[in-house]
Amino acid sequence: MSAIYTATATSTGEGRRGGQVASNDGALDLTLAVPTEMGGAGGGTNPEQLFAAGWAACFHSAMKSVAAAQKITLQDSAVVADISLLPNGEGGFTLSAALHVEIGGLEQAAAEALVATAHQVCPYSNATRGNIDVSVETTVA
């Protein structure tokens, strides 16, 4: 099966410790920094924030696509992704994720069914399934 799209980004310098990350088309060009919570100076983004932003946007798009296919009208919606960096007990690290989905205009059960389907469609959800701990919470506004 051939790819529909391939994103390319390059990290240079010191990686998360003050390096740069840029996409090949120039649309993304960021300085990285270790967050203050990890003893760094902050002042830049980090891989966990980039992953959270990508997953939130991708999941939101998947949910909107599923809603459109099912002819469901959403009044308002938002997806917040919390990505946590955790020691894995073997000297390395792993991630965990919590997705918080907010939907307006639906009953709770319908919103949960929509989110469950989006979780099956979203490429980030599929890539991480079985690899990291993921929780999904649906709130109806």
pLDDT 10s digits, 49-63: 999 999 999 999 999
Q: What is the 3-state secondary structure (H, E, C) of 74-130?
A: CCCEEEEEEEEEEECCCCCEEEEEEEEEEECCCCHHHHHHHHHHHHHHCHHHHHHCC
Topology (CATH level 3) of domain 1-45: N-terminal domain of TfIIb (2.20.25)
Contact yes or no for 122/114 (Cβ under 8 A): no
**All structural domains of the chain with their residue ranges:** 1-45, 47-140
pLDDT tens for each residue of 113-124 = 999 999 999 999
Instruction: Please give the model's pTM, rounded to 2 decimal places.
Output: 0.95
Read off the tokens for 41: 């100076």
Which superfamily, per CATH, for 47-140?
K homology (KH) domain (3.30.300.20)
